[in-house]
Amino acid sequence: AGLFVSSHNVRGKSITEIKQEIRSLQSLRQQQGLPPLWIATDQEGGIVSRLSPPLVRQPSLSDIVERHSDVSEREKAVRLYARVQGQGLADLGINLNFAPVVDVNYQLVNPRDLFTRIHQRAISRDPAVVAQVAEWYCAALEETGVRCTLKHFPGLGRVYEDTHTDEATLKAALADLNDTDWVPFHALMKGSEAFTMLGHVRLKSMDAETPASFSSAIVSDLIRGYWKYDGVLITDNFTMQAVYRSAFGIDEASIRALNAG
Kindly write down the DSSP assignment for every residue of 39-86, as one continuous string: EEE-EEETTEETTTTTSPPP--HHHHHHH--SHHHHHHHHHHHHHHHH
The answer to whether the bond into 100 is cis (omega within 30° of 0) is yes
* DSSP element (H, E) containing 253: helix 249-260
Q: What pLDDT, on the 0 to 100 scale, is given for residue 158?
A: 96
Q: Residues with Cβ < 8 Å from 198, sequence gap 6 or more?
A: 152, 153, 212, 213, 218, 219, 233, 234, 235, 236, 257
Range with the lowest mean pLDDT among 111-115, 136-140, 204-208? 111-115
Using a pLDDT cut of 90, give the percent of the chain over it. 95
For residue 8, indicate whether it is catalytic: no
Judge whether residue 137 has pLDDT over 90: yes
- This prediction has a pTM of 0.96
Q: Which of 100, 177, 110, 175 is nearest to 141 (CA)?
A: 100
Determine contact, residues 100/123, Cβ cutoff 8 Å: yes
Q: Please identify which of the residues 113, 162, 207, 236 carries the catalytic annotation.
A: 236
Q: Residue 188: in which H helix or E strand, if any? A: helix 183-191
Kindly report, residue by residue over 142-172, the tens digit of the pLDDT.
999 999 999 999 999 999 999 999 999 999 9
For 240, the 3-state DSSP assignment is coil
Alpha-carbon distance 85 to 141, whole Å?
8
What average pLDDT score do residues 103-116 get? 91
pLDDT tens, residue by residue, 22-70: 999 999 999 999 999 999 999 999 999 999 999 999 999 999 999 999 9
- pLDDT score of 103: 98
Query: Which residues on neighbouring strands pair with residue 49, listed in sequence order?
Result: 43
Mean pLDDT, range 109-123, rounded to an integer: 91
Q: What is the mean pLDDT of residues 254-259?
A: 97
Instruction: Examine the residue annotation and report whether 152 is marked as an active-site residue of this protein.
Output: no
Q: Active site residue: 68, 119, 164, 186, which one?
A: 164
Q: How many CA atoms lie within 13 A of 260 on its CB side?
A: 25
Residue 191 has pLDDT above 90, yes or no: no
Residue-wise pLDDT tens digits, 193-240: 999 999 999 999 999 999 999 999 999 999 999 999 999 999 999 999
Q: Where residue 192 falls among pLDDT bands split at 50, 70, 90?
A: confident
Residue 248 has pLDDT above 90, yes or no: yes
Instruction: Give me the pLDDT at residue 113, please.
Output: 83
pLDDT of 112 over the 90 cut: no
| Stretch 240-260: mean pLDDT | 96
Look over the chain and give the mean of its residue pLDDT values, rounded to a whole number.
Answer: 96
114 pLDDT tier (thresholds 50, 70, 90): confident
For residue 147, give the 3-state DSSP assignment.
strand
